[in-house]
């Protein structure tokens, strides 16, 4: 088990190196003139050159890469050409918002999707099954920003239950920074009313983001449950007259969930990289907006930094998923 962990963590090194090389190559291959853009239209040639020199962009690519990797080992992700701010500090301030959103969305997707998948498998080909299949296809195919707008319209404009956007009202001071998740930090600070307020702000964007993974998880759970139900050991359990509930939780749900776990791991990374539309609609100050702004202005350091961080989190998430397989199913436990 320990060996497995060490091996997997060592595997991160080539992932990081690969990511940085690819991102650096893309940054170089792109046409455009990031220095000219950052220096502004009124800069002289001398000023442009000075800017390029300040950021090391006048040096050969391999030299820039070496500097970057050296900085990386000290946790330095470089500086944005456009805002001049250190990328690591920017990511540290935007990442928690995105993670909070993605965790909340995944939590909704799992908590609702898994039982629903199991139920539809049991009620296969009856009306609740058909209904949820139709809803699921709708949820997968509906663009997230559109869903976000619909939610805003219904819950913020008509019912007035939830706020339009943001993480907190501007008059509310955020709780002291511990995890960066406002909901969690509010609880740590013992500030229950801020927790509730933050939760209300989180609800709509999280739901908008969760529907697509929810539907996929549900369908995955349904099909693997159906598969498991046809297995001999389920039949045996039935023949032995085990209580129905026990068969369901022990034999079916547990086995079917292993397959669903893979989807969850994949979706986690996909959501991390795909929050930008939801962030825009709900004014959620997250990484997606930050990265998008950097991409359109060819500000490569933030882009590389974000890709690296998301890549790392994705790998870590899948490592956790791999460990979870073993937890659920002793057959795949790692030695």
Binding track, positions 172-201, relative to other proteins; x by CB under 8 A: -xx---------------------------
- Considering beta carbons, is residue 35 or 261 the nearer one to other proteins? 35
Which window, 30-38, 114-122, 216-224, 308-316, contacts other proteins (CB under 8 A)? Answer: 30-38
Nearer to other proteins, 180 or 274 (CB): 180
Q: How many residues at the interface with other proteins, by CB under 8 A?
A: 49
Query: What's phi and psi for 43, nearest 5 deg?
Result: -75, 145
Phi, psi of 79 (to 5 degrees): -125, 150
Nearer to other proteins, 145 or 334 (CB): 145
Of 198 and 251, CB closest to other proteins: 198
Closer residue to other proteins in complex, CB, 29/239:
29
Q: Which of residues 70-129 bind other proteins (CB under 8 A)?
A: 80, 83-85, 90, 93-94, 97
55 scored as a contact of other proteins (CB under 8 A): no
- Name the minimum Å distance from CB 267 to other proteins: 25
Tell the smallest beta-carbon distance from residue 83 to other proteins (Å): 4
**What's the min distance (Å) between Cβ of 277 and other proteins?**
11
Structure tokens at 310: 């998301």
- Hey, is 298 helix, strand or coil? coil
Shortest distance in whole angstroms from residue 64 CB to other proteins: 18
Under the binding rule (CB under 8 A), the answer on residue 67 touching other proteins is no
* 233 contact partners, CB below 8 Å, separation of at least 6: 251
DSSP label of 30: S
Task: Give the residue ranges of DSSP H helices in 180-331.
Answer: 182-188, 192-229, 232-239, 244-246, 254-273, 276-281, 287-296, 300-328
Count of Cβ atoms closer than 10 Å to residue 250 Cβ: 13
Question: What sign does the dihedral 136-137-141-142 (CA atoms) show?
Answer: negative
Angle between helices 87-122 and 300-328 (to 10 degrees): 40
Phi first, then psi: give them for residue 284, nearest 5 degrees: -90, 115
Q: Which of 12, 16, 27, 36 binds other proteins (CB under 8 A)?
A: 36
Say if residues 114 and 257 touch (Cβ distance below 8 Å). yes
At 86, phi and psi to the nearest 5? -65, 135
| 3-state SS assignment for residue 86 | strand
CB 200 within 8 A of CB 115: no
Judged by CB under 8 A, does residue 254 bind other proteins? Answer: no
Count CB-CB contacts under 10 A for residue 25: 12
In whole angstroms, the minimum distance from the beta carbon of 70 to other proteins comes to 17
If one asks whether residue 296 binds other proteins (CB under 8 A), the answer comes out as yes
Q: Which residues bind other proteins (CB under 8 A)?
A: 31-34, 36-37, 40-44, 47, 50-51, 80, 83-85, 90, 93-94, 97, 145, 149-150, 152-153, 157-158, 160, 164-167, 169-171, 173-174, 280-281, 283, 285-286, 289-290, 296-298
């Amino acid at each position: 088990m320990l060996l497995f962990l060490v091996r997997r963590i060592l595997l991160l090194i080539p992932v990081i190196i690969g990511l940085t090389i690819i991102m650096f190559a893309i940054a170089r291959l792109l046409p455009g003139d990031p220095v000219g853009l950052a220096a502004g239209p009124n800069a002289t040639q001398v000023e442009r050159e000075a800017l390029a020199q300040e950021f090391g962009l006048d040096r050969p690519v391999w030299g820039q890469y070496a500097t970057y990797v050296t900085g990386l080992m000290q946790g330095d992700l470089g500086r944005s050409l456009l805002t001049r701010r250190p990328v690591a500090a920017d990511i540290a301030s935007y990442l928690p918002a995105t993670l909070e959103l993605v965790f909340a969305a995944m939590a909704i997707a799992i908590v609702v999707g898994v039982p629903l998948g199991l139920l539809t498998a049991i009620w296969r080909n009856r009306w609740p099954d058909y209904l949820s299949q139709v809803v699921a296809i709708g949820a997968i195919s509906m663009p997230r920003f559109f869903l976000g707008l619909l939610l805003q319209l219904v819950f913020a404009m008509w019912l007035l239950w939830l706020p339009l956007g943001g993480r907190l009202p501007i008059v509310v001071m955020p709780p002291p920074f511990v995890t960066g998740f406002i909901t969690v930090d509010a609880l740590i600070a013992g500030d229950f009313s801020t927790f509730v307020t933050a939760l209300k702000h989180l609800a709509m964007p999280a739901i908008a983001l969760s529907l697509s993974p929810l539907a996929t998880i549900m369908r995955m759970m349904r099909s693997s449950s159906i598969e498991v139900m046809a297995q001999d050991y389920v039949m045996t359990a039935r023949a032995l007259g085990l209580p129905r509930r026990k068969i369901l939780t022990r034999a079916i749900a547990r086995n079917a969930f292993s397959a669903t776990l893979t989807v969850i791991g994949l979706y986690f990374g996909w959501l991390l990289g795909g929050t930008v539309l939801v962030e825009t609609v709900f004014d959620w100050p997250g990484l997606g907006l930050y990265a998008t702004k950097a991409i359109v202005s060819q500000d490569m350091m933030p882009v590389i930094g974000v890709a690296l961080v998301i890549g790392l989190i994705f790998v870590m998430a899948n490592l956790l998923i791999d460990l979870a397989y073993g937890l659920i199913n002793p057959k795949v436990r790692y030695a």
